[in-house]
Amino acid sequence: MNPAQGKVWLVGAGPGDPGLLTIRGKECLEHADVVIYDSLANEALLDYAPTAEHIFAGKATDKHMLLQDEINRVMREQASQGKRVVRLKGGDPFVFGRGGEEALVLADAGIAFEIVPGITAGIAGPAYAGIPVTHRGLATCYTLITGHDAEALETDDEDLSQLLLRGTLVFYMGVRNLPRIAAQLVALGRPDTTPAAIVQWGTDPKQRTAVGTLADIAERAHDECIQPPAIIVVGEVVSLHDTLSWFESRPLFGKRIVVTRARSQASDLVRHLQELGADVFEFPTIAIEPPENPEPFDPVNTYDWIVLTSVNAVEMLFERMDNLGQDARDLAGVRLCVIGSATSEAVRRRFLRVDLMPEKYVAEYLMAALLAQEPDLAGKRFLLPRADIARSFLPEELRKHGADVTEVVAYRTVVPRTPDSLAERLATYRPDLVTFTSSSTARNFYEMLGAERIARLKQTAKFGAIGPITAKTAGSLGMPVTIEPDTHDIPNFVRAIVDGLGREATEAGR
């Protein structure tokens, strides 16, 4: 092998859910110069390789053979230029994925390669449909079969026939041939009462499952309009689906929800909604930027307290200190008051302890907690780095108690420069719900989408707001809010969304 040559990693992307990529697969993507991906690999995984060149290898069409030659050529060429090439393939690269052929091409050309297995759709699809592919007492063996060539099943081969009569059978690429596959299994002697299922887009929010028996599964799949990609599962294990179906039965399964928070703040809400099964579309309506003219403040060690109300404020403080040649040691003796657990975490990551963290960001709580530690605020020096649109009750309260308060704008919130194509994609996404977590998210959303697109959204979407002020802003812009929690925080907002949108709510409303 020539060391100046590059190398190819044949990486399994997993079946669809981006969380099912392996850690090794993620590492390979992070170090790739080029990623050649096919249509079954989730495009979200390309985010792990933001600076790499992304080459789409296309769909499996009738011109597959030609396409495959082309893929092989690109792989060889890129590697010969000394690049690190990731060939990202849906599921596992060696399970019906032509990964073996691609590895042979590389071996033949003397190009170094590694194989990174992935979770194959034939295991993950059934798992997400609540079907274990083996189960004590129900199936002791499990067979992966291509359903592409139905004639291959119409065989005199005794060994294959014996295999088809046992345990769990999983067919890949079999949607079109499902009627023939089911009939042939019955003809071979598998009872027509054998449970069977078909799982479309397994592990993805688009997942759908049709269940029946060999006698009627083809009809059920047809009625449910099941389309490729789908996995067919045949065997007694399918009977466990009714009890074990966990993915499709989550309360927000398949609901399309738009999250408009700034990306840096959205993760909590997004994670909660996804865990409940929602298909989340992130459309950040707020971007954080440094102030245009940073205001000066005194050396940090001249303050008695620094009050940090957001992660952004923490970051800004340290950046400014760094620019002045200061570091954490200059904070010796300065007490830190933080608002919110994420802010506290950001402070602790810098190996600093938090002196005060009031339970709620409400004037009375904060002042009471502060006064408990610092009964006499007269002449005490406070530094408050905050957003340009921050509420002003805190400096006012502190000043009332005689404190000397310095406020500096730590960051500005602006309308992000989002490509119009994303706004258009959102308008055609047919969401069930658009969520607003502050008045600015509602205002900016309106500005970014425009009245015409919002009118289109309203055909399918409800609107949700975290609290009454936000709801009022959204309402005044023609986006009437019908989902709003009693207590204005993320966990309660999520609960209100489940109540207003969840399966039971939808069914009751029918």
Residues assigned a catalytic role: 38, 59, 173
Q: Please identify, using beta-carbon distances, which residue of 274 and 312 lies nearer to ligand SAH.
A: 274
- Listing DSSP states for 443-493 in one string gives HHHHHHH-HHHHHHHTTT-EEEESSHHHHHHHHHTT--EEE--SS-SHHHH
Grouping H, G, I as helix, E, B as strand and the rest as coil, residue 118 is: coil
Binding site for ligand SAH (CB under 6 A): 15-16, 40, 89-92, 95-97, 120-121, 125, 172-173, 199, 201-204, 228-231
- In this structure, what token pair is assigned to residue 180? 């023939």
In the complex, the smallest distance separating the C-beta of residue 96 from ligand SAH, rounded to whole angstroms, is 4
Q: How far is the CB of 94 from ligand SAH (least distance, A)?
A: 8
In the block, residue with structure tokens 């194959």:
120
Q: Which residue has the tokens 């999983």?
A: 170
Rounded to the nearest whole angstrom, what is the least distance from the CB of residue 214 to ligand SAH in the complex?
18
The full DSSP string for 217-244 is HHHHHHHTT--SSEEEEESGGGGGHHHH
Q: Where are the alpha helices (DSSP H) in 189-310?
A: 217-223, 241-244, 263-275
CA–CA gap between residue 483 and residue 494 (Å, rounded): 10
**Distance, C-alpha 386 to centroid of its chain:** 30
**In this structure, are residues 463 and 436 in contact, taking their beta carbons and an 8 Å threshold?**
yes
CB nearer to ligand SAH: pick between 37 and 436: 37
Centre a 10 Å sphere on the Cβ of residue 364 and count the other Cβ atoms it contains: 11
Q: CB-wise, 121 or 370, nearer to ligand SAH?
A: 121
Strand partners, 356: 337
Q: Which is nearer to ligand SAH, 99 or 195 (CB)?
A: 99
C-beta of 102 vs 407, nearer to ligand SAH: 102
Nearer to ligand SAH (CB atom), residue 172 or residue 493:
172
Rounded Cα distance between 421 and 417, Å, is 12
Q: Are 32 and 13 in contact (CB under 8 A)?
A: no
Q: Which is nearer to ligand SAH, 230 or 442 (CB)?
A: 230
Cis before 431? omega within 30: no
- The least distance separating ligand SAH from the CB of residue 20, rounded to whole angstroms, comes to 10
Residue nearest to ligand SAH (CB): 91
Helix/strand/coil for 58: coil
Whole-angstrom distance, CA of residue 348 vs CA of residue 302: 22
Between CA 142 and CA 185 the distance in angstroms is 15
* DSSP-derived secondary structure letter, 296: P
Number of other CB atoms surrounding residue 385 within 10 Å: 25
Could you give the C-alpha distances from 71 to 58, 99, 394, in angstroms and in order?
9, 11, 61
Nearer to ligand SAH, 96 or 303 (CB): 96
In three-state secondary structure terms, 331 is helix
Least Cα distance to 36 among 105, 86, 109 occurs for 86
Q: Which residue, 224 or 404, is less far from ligand SAH as judged by CB?
A: 224
Tell the smallest beta-carbon distance from residue 230 to ligand SAH (Å).
5
* Angle at 356 (CA atoms; ends 354, 361), nearest 5 degrees: 120
Least distance (Å) between residue 118 CB and ligand SAH: 7
Contact 255, 432 (CB under 8 A): yes
Residue 148: burial class (beta carbons within 10 Å; 0-12, 13-18, 19+): middle
- The whole-angstrom separation of Cα 88 and Cα 40 is 9
Shortest reach from residue 271's CB to ligand SAH, in Å: 22
What's the min distance (Å) between Cβ of 171 and ligand SAH? 7
Nearest CB to ligand SAH, comparing residues 177 and 435: 177
Q: What is the C-alpha separation between 94 and 118, in angstroms, rounded?
A: 9
User: Nearest distance from residue 234's CB to ligand SAH, in Å?
Assistant: 14
Rounded least distance, CB 217 to ligand SAH, Å: 15
